[in-house]
Structure 1
Amino acid sequence: MPTPHYGQPRYRVIADHLRRRIESGVIPPGSLLPAESMLASEFRASRGTIRQAVAALRESGLVTTEHGRGTYTNVGSYEYAPDRSAELQTRQRDVAADAELADLFDIEVGAVLIERQSVTRKGKIVETVIKAYRLPPTSEGN
């Protein structure tokens, strides 16, 4: 992303670009941000600069970082639906991994995952349903 930043710190330019992706739904609520190395490659920046950008997003409440797991967009911390009259409802629950999820997470079928479901409604009409899954936090190192 070789664009001029006109005196603005590089990490701030990157944070603003990621913020636009999150707010527009390109990176959906509850989903994992790309790895630092991928972002560093995409933006042609050092990992330290990427860490500063992610820290800025964390300070603004758009993302949460879990040690050893990655950085997730926060569900409900921004208006995901383009239509401001739409209502966003979220819920989180533990679910058993089916065969597909177990394969994706490299865990056993039936292992516990955390499911975040976001439902956007306009009146009584459901516009979108987004489900995101992640491993539960471990007691190791916490």
Structure 2
Amino acid sequence: MSSLSADQQRQLIATRDRAYAPYSHHPVGALLEADDGSQYFGCNVEVAHYKGLCAEASAIAAMVTAGRQTIRSIHVIGPGQHLCTPCGDCRQRLREFATAATTIHVLAADGGLLKHYCIDELLPDSFGPENLAPV
């Protein structure tokens, strides 16, 4: 279950609303909580050649920049009342820093919880760092 406070919910909506999405017109925000409880916000940033940065990737970059490497949970909010789940690239990025206990919460535009997942539900039979171990 999502446990965002009213203030976190407002901050997440404000983060989504600051997204730079002039091409898709699909602003997304993310609030990532690391294993130590620290929080990192991110929004999508599009560029003219269509290789932008997703909100989840933005939040992960902020977390790693701050010296953390494990995601406890992440909240993702899009512009509508539909599921705005992480894209394929972001599912793989989340997998890199997730544990079996990591929770991915997908919120409606108003901040209400629509659904939550564990990483294995979003990316079953995934490829991760342990697959690169020497044989």
TM above 0.5: no
What TM-score do you get using the length of structure 2 for normalisation?
A: 0.30
Bigger proportion of residues as strand: 1
Q: Which has the larger radius of gyration?
A: 1
What TM-score, normalized to structure 1?
0.29
